[in-house]
Structure 1
């Protein structure tokens, strides 16, 4: 079976099918990435000014970027989970919801690298770049989301057929079920939640417009593009042409 942390591989294995909570989780990802990087640096829970925190994050990333450029954070991010829950870092009203969202966010962050997390949490990333990184994290952690992004979302953009709807998703799932029988045993309610949450994540990443039902193009900033080149397959999750970089 695929491990609990990091990018999912599905050769001969079942898909992870637990993306029923939270949509893209971009603000939550940024907050927990900052918390993880601070803890990784010196174990301190001290809350300094945003400028000091950002400076510290940048320093830590520079120290580790060469070594860890392509290495995912993996299971180590679980170290902050309990603290994030106890301190209610994400300011979620109920304990049960807080636990679910923290768990889901840290799982997705586990598929990013230290350098990607530093950019996500740092002061120089734009909102659109942060949303793109959280979309990439979701695509890496959930192989079926990544395959949908490459085989449907990006393909629609590249072929000029920018209309996208639930029927496209349903056809995609039916095709995947030929090799993944677990897709046929998912309850109708869960299947609808998975589909709805995937489309919600695409909307929140501004890769899809709900009103018109169309795919929206994305172009990363030069800074994000440089980071993603170290894991160039990441561009395959985005509706863009690599030649435009």
Structure 2
């Protein structure tokens, strides 16, 4: 996963856990993305106030979930809370190179070296280092940078990577989740204590 352009468009709604599980369940039932979109729009499945918000949220969720296999989507629809969190995180990392790289280059090494507190300074140092090579990060406004950091930390909390005090938390995986993610894919290294 290298060479991709960084985008900060993940600020739409943090992890979107509820919406992701709902869409995965519809996909398991309908077996087609156009059918899922039609159902979500017809029934306002996310209880959005406006159609434009519904379209925006569905677009974000579907872009992420299209990176998952059918087996991963089925487990996202039916699995335990821990399995759902892990699969939403996997989809986020596959959609956003920036978050993938932050996980691999900062979060995992920090956890592996027993430094269990993830700080805003850790994130800012990563962001600033990447901004030297990515003009769109370098030219982002202070407000955009702050919002991106806020959303990344919120996603990390919602997906069980950090606690309320931003302490890194070990992910406990069962064999089913390991098989569905795929030991050979290398994606298990995205999860603390499972790489």
Instruction: Calculate the TM-score normalised by the size of structure 1.
Output: 0.74
RMSD of aligned C-alpha atoms?
A: 1.7
Counterpart for residue 24 of structure 1: 15
Q: Aligned pair in 2 of structure 1 residues 231, 199: CA closer, same or farther (>3 Å)?
A: farther
1:235 alignment partner, SS class = helix
Q: Give distance in 2, aligned partners of 1:137 and 1:78.
A: 19
1:19 alignment partner, SS class = helix
Q: Give distance in 2, aligned partners of 1:138 and 1:176.
A: 19
1:223 alignment partner, SS class = helix
1:88 aligns with one of 14, 20, 44: 44
Counterpart for residue 137 of structure 1: 91
1:184 aligns with one of 132, 135, 138: 138
Q: Give distance in 2, aligned partners of 1:15 and 1:78.
A: 27
CA deviation after TM superposition for structure 1 residue 230, in Å: 5.2
Higher radius of gyration, 1 or 2: 1
CA deviation after TM superposition for structure 1 residue 25, in Å: 1.3
Q: Which runs of 5+ in 1 are unaligned?
A: 1-8, 41-75
Q: Which region of structure 1 is more displaced relative to structure 2, 100-109 or 83-92? A: 83-92
1:229 aligns with one of 164, 182, 192: 182
CA deviation after TM superposition for structure 1 residue 144, in Å: 0.7
> Does the aligned pair in 1 maintain the 2:27–2:36 contact within 8 Å?
yes
1:23 alignment partner, SS class = coil
Q: Give distance in 2, aligned partners of 1:220 and 1:128.
A: 8
Q: Which runs of 5+ in 2 are unaligned?
A: none
Q: Does 1:99 align with 2:99?
A: no
CA deviation after TM superposition for structure 1 residue 79, in Å: 5.1
Q: Aligned pair in 2 of structure 1 residues 209, 94: CA closer, same or farther (>3 Å)?
A: same
